[in-house]
Structure 1
Amino acid sequence: MSAPPAAHRSPALLELTAVCKRYNVGQPNEAEVLHGVSFNIAPGELVALIGPSGSGKSTLLNILGLLERMTSGSYRIEGQEMVDIDDEALTLQRRTKLGFVFQFHHLLPAFTALENVTLPALMREGRVTSRQLERARAMLDAVGLGHAMDKRPGELSGGMQQRVAIARAMVLEPPMVLADEPTGNLDTASSDEVFALMRRMHAERNTSFLVVTHDPRLAARCDRVLELVDGRLVRDQVSGAAGGSSAG
C-alpha cells in the first residue's frame, strides 16, 4: 500500500489506527470484516472511499459515523479517543462533529425543505431558534434552493433533494461530512451537479468530506482516494484532482 503523503498525516481530524471489526466474537461463525485499517483525514480534505461490494466500506463508514463500535484499534476525532466513551457521549460527538449524506436522502416527506434542514438543530437541542432558522435558510440559499424552501421533497427532483440533504448535513457546520453513495441514485447530469456542490461547499467552508462511491469519475475528482478490498486498506493515494500522484 502506498504510504499517506506527509500532508495527510497531521494534523488529523479523524485518525484510525489498526481498526478491526469482528462479528459473532467467540462463536463458530465469527467473521472479521475489517483487518487493521489505519488512515488519517486532515481538516479540509475531500477523500473518496472505494472498493468492491462486500469489501467492508459500509462497516467502516458505520464506525466512522459512531453508529457501530470497533472490536479493536483506536479511533480519534480531533484528538479525542472514541473507544471507551459511553453511548451518550458518542451521540453528542456524532451530532456535533459529523454530518451525514446518504444515497437515499431520507428527507421527511411531510416536511418542507426548510423544515428538513432544521432537523439537526431540533434533534440536538430540542428546539429551533431564530438564529438556527436563519442559518438553515442561508444553507438552502448556498445550495441554490432559496426559491424552494417551502416545497416538500415530493415536489423536488432527485438532484434537488440531495442538495437539501447536503444543506441538512452542513447546517450545524460539522468539521466532517460522511457521504454514502450520495450520487448513486442520480442520473449523470444530476450526479455531476451534486458532486460539484459538495466540492464547492468543501472549498468554501473548509469542511472535510469522506465520500463512499462506486463511480470512478467521482473518485478521480476527489483530492485523495482510499481503496478497501476484503477489509484491508490497499491504497491511499493522492488523486489527479489534487495535482499529486501515488506516494512512496
Structure 2
Amino acid sequence: MNGDSLVRLRDIRKRYNVGLPSEAEVLHGIDLDVARGEFAALIGPSGSGKSTLLNVLGLLERATSGRYELAGQVVDGLDDEARTRLRRDTIGFVFQFHHLLPAFSAIENVTLPALARDGRVRRAVRERAAALLAEVGLAAAMDKRPAELSGGMQQRVAVARALILEPALVLADEPTGNLDTASSDEVFALLRRIHGEVGTSFLVVTHDPRLAARCDRIVEIVDGRIARDAPAVR
C-alpha cells in the first residue's frame, strides 16, 4: 500500500440478492485511493451507487468481491468484531440527518462514541468534547438538548461527535443536504477549517456543485462506475 494512502479500493464490486433471480450488481469494479489528509467530494446522480460505495468504505456493508485496504489493513477477511473495531478507531461519520439522541445534551451526544467504546466517559474525553464544541462555535450550548438547537447547530454537534475519537477518515453523506443555504455554507466551511487544522481525510458526498467545487478533488460515480476523478477547478 502506498505510504500516503489511507484508503485503497481495487476492483470493488457489490451485488445484492446474490444467487436469486433478482440479483443485481450496483458497484462494477471500483478503483479508488484516498490519500491521508485529502479533502475529496463524491458526486453522481441519484441511484448511481454513491451511498453503497460509502457504506462499503465505512465498513457498514461488505463488498461482494475486490480488495479494500484501510489504514494499512486489508479489510476483506476481517470478521464482524474486527471490522467494528477498525471502523470505530479509524472512521467518523456525518450524515444528512444528524441522528442526535434527543434526551442527551450536546456534550453527551458528542461523547457517545467514547461511551460505546469504553463503557464510560473519561474526564479527558469530556474535556475533548467541550473543546470540540467550542471549536464548532457551540461553547455556550453544550448543555442544551437537540430540540433547543437550530438545524445548523445540530449538524455542528454531529461534526464534533464524528471527531471525538480522532479518526483518520471522516465520511460525510450529504452533511448539508438538510440545511438552508446559509447553514450549509457554515457547516461546509467548518469541515474545511477542521481539515486544515487537523489533517483528517474527508470524503464528502454532495449533490451541490457549489460545495463540490470547494473540495480539492471530485470523484464522480455514474451507474456504479467512476466516470471522473480529477482535481476541482476553482
CA drift at 1:27: 1.6
Q: Which structure 1 residue ranges, 5 or more long, are not aligned?
A: 1-8, 242-248
Q: Figure out how many residues of one structure are paired with residues of the other and give that number.
A: 233
Give the structure-2-normalised TM-score: 0.98
CA RMSD of aligned residues (A): 0.9
Name the structure 2 match of 1:211: 204
Q: How does 1:1-248 map to 2 (within 5 A)?
A: 11-241=4-234
C-alpha separation in 2, matches of 1:119 and 1:28: 42
2:171 is aligned with what amino acid?
L
1:95 is aligned with what amino acid?
R
2:175 is aligned with what amino acid?
P
CA drift at 1:26: 1.7
3-state DSSP class of the match of 1:191? helix
CA drift at 1:240: 2.5
CA drift at 1:79: 1.6
CA drift at 1:53: 0.4
C-alpha separation in 2, matches of 1:209 and 1:47: 6
Q: Which contiguous aligned blocks of 4+ residues in structure 1 show a shift greater than 4 angstroms?
A: none
CA offset digits 1:206-232 (Å, max 9, x no partner): 011100010000000000000000000
C-alpha separation in 1, matches of 2:105 and 2:75: 35
C-alpha separation in 1, matches of 2:8 and 2:181: 33
Name the structure 2 match of 1:5: none
C-alpha separation in 1, matches of 2:161 and 2:71: 22
CA drift at 1:190: 0.3
CA drift at 1:28: 1.4
- Describe the shift of the 1:70–1:11 C-alpha distance in structure 2 as closer, same or farther (beyond 3 A): same
Give the structure-1-normalised TM-score: 0.92
C-alpha separation in 1, matches of 2:233 and 2:117: 38
Q: Which structure 2 residue ranges, 5 or more long, are not aligned?
A: none
> Which range moved further: 89-98 or 25-34?
25-34
2:166 is aligned with what amino acid?
E
Q: How many percent identity over aligned positions?
A: 69
